[in-house]
Amino acid sequence: MNSTQNERINQITSSTLIVGVDIAKFKHVARAQDYRGVEFGKSITFENDREGFEMFVSWFRKLATEKGFQDVIVGMEPTGHYCLNLAHFLREQHVTCAVVNPLHVKKSKELDDNSPTKNDIKDAKVIAQLVKDGRYALPNLPQGIYAELREAMKIRDHLSTDLRVVQGRVHNWLDRYFPEFLTVFKDWECKSTRQMLSL
C-alpha cells in the first residue's frame, strides 16, 4: 500500500458518508454507506439531468443529516462522457467527487456473491467499497479556457485519426487499381494529382 492510498484512506473518517454511483446513459443508481461498509437507506435511481442531480443531492444530504455525517464523498466509474455532467454539478455543490477504475469494479464484484454478473445496484455498492478502501482518484475537471483547450485537443485527435484512415484507404485504392500512379506523380494529395484521379 503506497502513501497516497494511505492518505486517501485517512480522508474517509467515521463522519464521512460514502456514496457509490453506477453511471449509465439515462439513469444512474446510487447507494450510501459508512466507512465500515454499513449501508444506509435504499438505493436511489435518478435521471441524467439537472432535476435528477438535484434529487440525488437532496437524497444524500438528507441521509447525512439523519445519520450525523459531516462530510460526503461521491464515487463513480468514469463511463465515457456520461459522468461529466454529474461531476460538474457535484463540484458546483461543493461535494467531493472521486472516480474508481472500471477494471477494479469488475474484479471486485465477485467478492460479495462470487458472481461477476452486471447489476447497477451491485455496481454502486462495489464502487462505494472501493472508495472506502482508498482505491479512487480525484478527477481533474478543467474550467474556462482550459476546458476549451482540452476539448479542442480531443477534436484534433479525432480529426487526425480520421485523416489517417482516409489516407490509408486512398493508398489502398491506388495500389489496387492504379499501381503505376505514384511512379508518375510524387504526391497524390496535390491539386493536379487529385484532378487526374477524379478524371
- Phi and psi at residue 73, in whole multiples of 5°? -125, 130
pLDDT tens digit string along 102-153? 888 877 776 666 565 666 678 888 888 888 888 888 887 777 787 788 788 8
**Residue 1, pLDDT above cutoff 50:** no
Q: How far apart are CA 131 and CA 35, in angstroms?
A: 9
pLDDT tens digit string along 60-78? 999 989 888 888 999 998 8
Vertex 52 angle, CA 46 and 54, to 5°: 125
Give bridge partners of residue 98 from the DSSP assignment. 75
- Phi and psi at residue 88, in whole multiples of 5°? -65, -40
**Residue 2, pLDDT above cutoff 60:** no
Which DSSP letter does residue 137 get? B
* Residue 115 vs residue 18, higher pLDDT: 18
Long-range contacts of 174-178, Cβ-Cβ distance < 8 Å, separation of 24 or more: none
For position 7, what pLDDT does the model report? 77
Range with the poorest average pLDDT among 1-10, 36-45, 91-100: 1-10
The per-residue DSSP string of 2-38 comes to: -HHHHHHHHH--TTEEEEEEE--SSEEEEEEE-TT--
**Residue 36, pLDDT above cutoff 80:** yes
Give the global pTM. 0.70
For position 112, what pLDDT does the model report? 63
Domain spanning 3-132 has what CATH number? 3.30.420.40
The per-residue DSSP string of 81-135 comes to: TTTHHHHHHHHHTT-EEEE--HHHHHHHTHHHHS-----HHHHHHHHHHHHHTT-
Q: How confident is the model at residue 187 (pLDDT cuts 50, 70, 90)?
A: confident
Q: How confident is the model at residue 48 (pLDDT cuts 50, 70, 90)?
A: confident
Cell of 39: 449501508
Handedness of CA 157, 158, 159, 163 (dihedral sign): positive
* Residue 96 vs residue 185, higher pLDDT: 96
Cell numbers 467515521 correspond to 14
Query: What CA dihedral angle connects 7, 13, 19 and 22, to 10 degrees?
Result: 30
**Residue 190, pLDDT above cutoff 90:** no
